[in-house]
Amino acid sequence: MKLNINNETGLLKSVVLGMPHSMGPAHTLEESYDAKSYHSLYNNIYPKEEAIVHEMTEFEKVLKKYDVEVFRPHIIENYNQVFARDVAFVIEDKMIISNIIPERYNEQDAYRKIFARVGWKKIINLPDTAHVEGGDVIVWNDFLFVGTCFSEDYRNFKTARTNEYAIEILKEYFPKKRVIDLELKKNDTDPFSGILHLDCTFNPVGTDKCIIYKDGFVDESDYRLLLDIFGEENCFEVTKQEMFEMNPNIFSISPEIVVSDSSFARLNNHLRNEWGMTVEEIPYREISKMGGLLRCSTLPLVRE
């Protein structure tokens, strides 16, 4: 398998889509490892498996409508495998295996056949102390945007998934990329106050545009830098409520086609009416209750 990912929106040819089956029982509050799941458990609205299966089936239908080759991990019994983006990610022609949190480590076993198709020469295994998850890594042509947490309390945050050491390793492997670290606000229990991954507060679309939530960054200068790169007129700003609902975390099939949650009325109308995009709307409300959305559910392998 020849990998090719140079940005977030090139015409998608193949992708891994997470697996909704055999999710097992919901975690307790103490076991939850992201703020949105904590919120859902606390309010007794954590999603049921049948709803997750329905939503991911609708997503797969849209992908296949556009002739995308869809791979799936094999099922691990009683284990949540919805969010493929965190297990691994592709930059150019290399696949980086994430050092994910211990609670999800076994998830990588379900990808062994996919890893085998890629081949070991194209796979990068990071040192154990280099923590990174795919939701924090956004490839955008010459740029590599990486969400991180520089806080002295890094080890105390369950929602801090990417550290400074991983960023330095990525710089070594991709020396021609302009690597930009963006520090994210973290909160383990309040999804209105913290950002799990970079793609929950910032996501490029089209060829020169992005969706962004200003208050997701620790330093406003990071937000300003992104506005400078994309141009303020090319940035769709979401509200705190829209960030909570995960508006930034949509998924591009091409520069002209995106898959979005059908409840994102303001965003979807803007994408269609102002930016001229085709918006494939599907239900993804239940999956959002677990702290991820459409981009989180995917691991793109090849884009033209």
Do 158 and 188 form a contact (C-beta atoms < 8 A)?
yes
Rounded mean pLDDT, 79-91:
95
Band of residue 278 on the pLDDT scale cut at 50, 70, 90: very high
Rounded mean pLDDT, 47-53:
96
Band of residue 149 on the pLDDT scale cut at 50, 70, 90: very high
pTM of the model as a whole: 0.95
pLDDT score, position 207 = 98
* pLDDT higher than threshold 90 for residue 15: yes
Strands 178-183 and 202-205: unpaired
pLDDT score, position 151 = 81
* pLDDT higher than threshold 80 for residue 155: no
Retrieve residue 274's tokens.
């102002």
* pLDDT mean across residues, the chain: 95
pLDDT score, position 124 = 96
Rounded mean pLDDT, 184-188:
96
* pLDDT higher than threshold 80 for residue 105: no
pLDDT score, position 160 = 86
Report the share of the chain in percent with pLDDT over 70.
Answer: 100
